[in-house]
Structure 1
C-alpha cells in the first residue's frame, strides 16, 4: 500500500544572531539593511589578517539556564537552546495535550564545539600536558549535543539526530525534518542549526584558505555579495530554530501557520573539497530537484535567498547556476542577506529560511547591502534588491545553501493558503 505524503508547515521560529536575539528584532534589522559586522572582541586579532566578524551581541545565558548549568554546554549549544525556546513559545504548543513520543529534534552544525576544543587543547599544552580535561569536554564539542539537549529539556522522545554538511547543515536538518513528517514518522520536529566559531582557530584556518575578507577598516561594508570588488566572506555566529509539523497536526491544535515547505532539493558538486564547481553544477541540480519536488516551474519562484558568501568563485558559480535554471528574469529577486549577517556556516540555512518566511508573510524582500557593481554578465539578469527592501507579493521563495565538500541543500517555501 502506497502512503500519501503529508503536507509540512512551519508554525514557530526563533533566532540568536548578530542582528538580534529574537525574531522581531532580527527582522527589523534585516529589512532596514543593518550590518552586524564589527571588529572582533573575542580575542586579540593583532597577528591575524582578518580582524572583523559578525558576533552575537548581548546574549545572556542566565535567561535560559539555571546557575552553572550553562557550563555544561559550549556556546553553540547555548545558542541552539535559546533559539529553540523562542520557536517553541512562538508556536504556542500546549504540552499538556502534545504527544511527546511523536515530537523529534533534528539539528545541524558544521563545527560543533570548536571553542571548547581549542580551549581544552591550549590548556593541555600550556599545563605541562597534564590530562586535566573537563568532564563535559566530549559532550561540549560533539555536534549532536544540541538535538539531545533540546529533547531532554522538553521531554521530546521522537526521532533525534544531527546533520553535518558544513554550511548546508541546517538546511539539511530542515529537509530531513520535512521528509520524516511527510512519511508520518513524526507529528512535529524542532529543527535548525547553530554555530559559535569566532575564535583564533576558525579565523586563522579560513585566513589560511584565503576565504575571509580583510577589509578591516570598514567592517559594516566588508561583505559584498556578487560585487566585482568582493574579497571574501565575513564569519558569523548564532542559531535559528523552526517548529515544523504536519498540516494535520497544526490544524488540529489550532496553530498559526507561517509558511509551507513546498519542496526540497539536494545534490553534490563532486568537484573540490572547498571550492564550488565553476559552472555551479551541484547548485543547478539542487535547484532543479527542489522545483521538481515542489511540482512547480522556475517561473513560479518570486525570491531567491542566495548562498552568496562574497567569495570570488562561489558567488560567480552560483549566478551561473541560477541563470541556467531561471534564464533572464529581471523580475526575479535574488537577494544576499549575508551582506548583513555575515556567514553563520551551519546555521546560515535556517536563519535565511526564517528571512524567506518573513519575506513571504510580510510581502517585503530584504535588501542586499554594500553591493554596488554586480558581476557584469548578470547585472541585468535579476533584481538584486540593492540598498533597500522592496514591497512584493511572494508566493514561492527559494533558499540555497552550499557546504565545503560540495554539499548542496535547497529549500522552497510557499505562502500558506487555506484550502490549498
Structure 2
C-alpha cells in the first residue's frame, strides 16, 4: 500500500506564525544561522589560516573536509538518536559541544590540531539538522513542510552571507588589538560562545510534545498530523525507507558538492583570481551567498504551492529540484570561459540562487514520506551532503592546485547534470509502518 501523505492537503496554507509553532521555527532559524557561521567561518578565515599555519591549499582542503567525515558517517545514527532522546535534550548538547569545537578551532596550531577540531565539529553537528527536522515534524502541518524547511535554511544561508562580514570584521578587530591571540582566533572563540548560548535558550523554551507547550490551543493541536502525537514510535522499516530515500541521497550529493564549493572556495577564488583584499572579497562573498537566502524561501514556498494545487508530492518536489539543478548548472557555465569580476559575481549569485531552490525541497521529502521517522530519514538523505563535503573540498582544492579554477567548476556542472537526471526519474512515496492496520488502529484511538 502506498499513499502520498498522512492527511488531505488543505486548499489554503496552514498558518505558521501567529501559532506556538512559529516560536519553534524562529528558534530553529537562529540555530541554523549559527551552525552555518560555525561551519563556514573557516572559509572566510581560510587565506589567513593558510598563512598563519603554513598550509598548502590541498592541506587546507583536507582540514575543511575533515568536518564532513563524521558529519556523513553519523547522519543516520545522529538522526535516530535525536528521535529517541527527543529534540530538546539532543539539540541542547549538540549546541554546547559544537560551541566547544568551534572554540577549539581557534586554538589550532597546525594541520593536525585544525583537523581534530573540524572532526569534533562535524561529529557534534551530524545530528543537528536531522534532529531539527524531527522537531519540525512534531509541530508543522504537512502542507507547510517545504515552506518551513525553506525558512530555516534561508536562515542558514543568511548565516553564510553574514559569516564573511562577521568573521572578516572580527579578524580585523582582533588583529587591531595587538594581543597574543590573533584576529582569526578571536573570531572562532566569539562564535563558539554564541553557539553555547543558543543551546541554553533552546532547552529553556522548547518542548518535545506540543501539548506541553504553554498556551497552545486545541486548534493548533488539531492541525498537526495525528500520527505524530503518539508517545510510542513504531519500528523503523529500514529496507523500504532506504529504497525510498536512496535516490534523494544521490541528488543531495550533487547538490552538496556544489554547495560546498560555494561555502568553502568562493573567498579563495575571488582573492586568487582577482587579487582582492579581505574586506573586498568578504563583501562580494556575502553578496553571492545572500542570493541563497532568497532561493531557499522561494523554493519552499513554490514547492508547497504546487502540492496544494496538484495534490502530488512527486510533482511538487521534482519540478523545483529540476529547475534548481539545471538553473544552477547553466549559471555556472560562464565561469569556464570568462575572466571578469562583475560577470563572476553575477554568475555565482544566480547559480547559488537556483541551487538553493533545491534545499528546502530535499529536506521536505523525508518529512513527506516518513514523518514518523523524519530524523532517521533526513539523516539518510543528508548523508549525501556529508559525503559530498568529504570529497568536494579535497578534490576541488587538488584540482585548483594543478589545473586552476575552470576544471573544478566543470566538475560541479557535471555533477549537477547527473543529479538532475536522477531527480527527473525518482518517485518518493509515503513509507508506512510495517503493520499498517495496527498503526491505523493505534493512531485513531
Q: Same fold (TM over 0.5)?
A: no
Bigger Rg, structure 1 or 2 = 2
Structure with the bigger percentage of strand: 1
Query: More relative contact order in 1 or in 2 (CA 8 Å, sep 6+)?
Result: 2
Structure with the bigger percentage of helix: 2
- The two structures have a TM-score, normalised by structure 2, of 0.30
- The two structures have a TM-score, normalised by structure 1, of 0.32
